[in-house]
């Protein structure tokens, strides 16, 4: 991996800091290797990139310059092209202590081509061995990435962070039905251990899709009890935490209307210190050391996600949630951890007179009016405490007031990784049951 331009970064910050409230110089080197197996092709590729960034904060406005061909000196010459303007918002940024040192997360060495192809072969062999009774076409893609980041800023911070990322996506296809699984970890060893479970989960949903019936039209737009698997519950809590992003509250006056947003049984923690989860960070993208923080405790909001600017405006403290280097940093989750309850899945089913279990996830959205929309891959009908058959449900609408009626929280946590605005994040979440949601 190319050498880091420490002296160039220091000179750039010294040249910028005299006329701005904050500035930093960042250099990121990235190497990756990826392979894919598809119906009519097999692909393998390698990639490397070096990018430098110069960023300033002045009068409440970010100015960001970046280039993957220039050094800091050449990029510094372009600073005069950035137009200065005012927004009418406060320009204060929360003061933090400088960060110094070298940090490492996950893998440090890039996998070889043979090692990557072995992962691909393991996936294909697992799919073939698990799907003997019903053949399914498959698409598998795997990427291993190593990055190294140098940061110098006007706070006096000077640090280097190395980071690994192993990602895999598996799609199984049978006729018009598709079941997908995605996962990612900071190290390849953790990822290897999940391949079999991913394949089995996708196959189980694919089989359910093949026998699924259309939803009874009489159930359209009705209130039903729903049990959410970990993919859907992870997505639900992810969308809830969007409401706790402090910049949304300041700029758009959205989402926070009360402090009690969940049932008393639920506590949500944002934890960037989990050593293997993809949302983990040592230092955020504004030079703030990352720490765990309770966001919702016993159903009540106790903290928001902050940048240094939002923390200053709301008289709070940033705890390492700013994400964004080539774009304006925004307050985002890292790894959400939902405190487990004491319900087994079998008990949730037994205690459900009539309802649905949502399995697999196509999409989740938080609408501006506060309704969370889930699109499951498949749903199973529950009647009198027993699973009956599978049905096709297009969407499930969950109004915010329904979150107060989450009446069962599972005792086991499951891991869900995803990508939000190019940033890796995750949730560790249980199965949950809502006493009602709207089926459409």
pLDDT attached to residue 74: 87
pLDDT computed for residue 88 by the predictor: 64
Q: Is the pLDDT of residue 327 over 50?
A: yes
| Percent of the chain at pLDDT exceeding 90 | 82
Q: Per mean pLDDT, which range of 56-65, 98-107, 189-198 is the poorest? A: 56-65
- Is residue 134 predicted with pLDDT exceeding 80? no
> Residue 25 and residue 288: Cα distance in Å, rounded?
15
Residue 85 has pLDDT above 80, yes or no: no
pLDDT at residue 39, rounded to an integer: 80
Mean pLDDT of 379-387: 95
Q: Which domains does the chain have, with CATH numbers?
A: 6-211 (3.30.2290.10), 213-439 (no CATH)
385-425 confidence digits (pLDDT tens): 999 999 999 999 999 999 999 999 999 999 999 999 899 99
Determine the pLDDT at residue 59.
86
Would the pLDDT of 255 be above 60? no
Contact 350, 385 (CB under 8 A): yes
Q: Which DSSP symbol is given to 329?
A: -
For the chain, the first-to-last Cα distance in angstroms comes to 52
The pLDDT of residue 90 is above 80: no
Q: Would you state the pLDDT for residue 86?
A: 65
Q: Which two tokens stand for residue 138?
A: 């498959």
Instruction: Reply yes or no on whether the pLDDT at 160 is more than 70.
Output: yes
pLDDT at residue 1 in the model? 47
SS3 label, residue 250: helix
Tell me how many degrees the CA angle 230-337-251 measures, rounded to the nearest 5. Answer: 100
Is the pLDDT assigned to residue 2 strictly greater than 70?
no
DSSP state of 245: B
Could you report the per-residue pLDDT of 12-38, keeping only the tens digit for each?
999 999 989 999 999 999 999 999 998
**Distance between CA atoms of residues 438 and 440, nearest Å:** 6
pLDDT at res. 99: 98
Assessment of whether the complete model's pTM goes beyond 0.85: yes
CA 274-150-184 angle, 5° bins: 35
Q: Tell me the mean pLDDT in the region 337-355.
A: 97
**What is the average pLDDT across 165-180?**
94
Pure H helices in 271-337 = 308-313
Higher pLDDT, 92 or 182: 182
Decide which of 370 and 391 is more confident.
391
pLDDT-based confidence at 233, cuts 50/70/90? very high
Tokens describing residue 262? 């969940």
Q: What tokens appear for 108 in the block? A: 């440090």
pLDDT per position as a tens digit, 265-309 = 999 999 999 999 999 999 999 999 999 999 999 999 999 999 999
- Written as six digits, the tokens of 216 are 């009874």
Task: Give the C-alpha distances (Å, rounded to integers) separating 261 from 52, 265, 302, 333, 390.
Answer: 42, 11, 11, 18, 31
């Amino acid at each position: 991996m190319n050498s880091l331009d420490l002296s160039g970064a220091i000179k750039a910050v010294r040249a910028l800091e005299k006329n701005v409230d904050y500035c930093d110089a960042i250099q990121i080197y990235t190497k990756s290797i990826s392979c894919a197996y598809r119906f009519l092709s097999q692909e393998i590729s390698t990639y490397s990139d070096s990018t430098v960034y110069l960023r300033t904060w002045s009068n409440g406005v970010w100015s960001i310059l970046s280039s993957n061909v220039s050094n800091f000196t050449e990029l510094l010459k372009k600073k005069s092209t950035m137009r200065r303007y005012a927004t009418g918002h406060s320009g204060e940024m929360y003061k933090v202590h400088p960060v110094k040192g070298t940090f490492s997360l996950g893998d440090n060495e890039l996998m070889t081509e043979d090692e990557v192809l072995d992962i691909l072969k393991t996936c294909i062999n697992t799919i073939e061995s698990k799907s003997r009774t019903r053949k399914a076409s498959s698409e598998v893609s795997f990427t291993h990435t190593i990055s190294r980041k140098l940061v110098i800023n006007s706070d006096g911070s000077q640090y280097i962070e190395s980071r690994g990322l192993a990602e895999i996506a598996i799609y199984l296809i049978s006729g018009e039905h598709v079941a997908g699984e995605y996962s990612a970890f900071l190290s390849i060893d953790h990822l290897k251990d999940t391949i079999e479970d991913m394949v089995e989960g996708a196959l189980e949903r694919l089989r359910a899709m093949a026998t699924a019936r259309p939803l009874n039209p009489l159930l359209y737009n009705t209130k039903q009890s729903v049990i959410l698997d970990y993919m859907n519950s992870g997505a639900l809590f992810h969308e809830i935490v969007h409401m706790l992003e402090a910049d949304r509250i300041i700029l758009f006056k959205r989402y926070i209307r009360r402090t009690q947003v969940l049932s008393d049984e639920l506590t949500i923690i944002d934890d960037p210190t989990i050593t293997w989860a993809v949302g983990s960070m040592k230092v955020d993208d504004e030079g703030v050391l990352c720490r765990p923080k309770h966001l919702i405790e016993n159903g009540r909001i106790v903290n928001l996600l902050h940048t240094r600017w939002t923390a200053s405006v709301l008289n709070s403290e940033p705890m390492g949630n700013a994400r964004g280097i080539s774009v304006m940093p925004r307050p985002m989750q890292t790894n959400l951890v939902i405190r487990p309850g004491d319900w087994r899945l079998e008990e949730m089913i037994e205690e459900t007179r009539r309802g649905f279990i949502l399995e697999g996830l196509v999409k989740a959205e938080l609408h501006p009016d506060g309704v969370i929309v889930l699109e499951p891959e498949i749903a199973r009908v529950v009647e009198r405490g027993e699973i009956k058959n599978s049905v096709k449900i297009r969407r499930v609408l969950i109004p915010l007031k329904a979150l107060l009626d989450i009446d069962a929280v599972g005792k086991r946590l499951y891991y869900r990784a995803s990508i939000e605005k190019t940033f890796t994040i995750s949730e560790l979440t249980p199965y949950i049951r809502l006493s009602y949601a709207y089926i459409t």
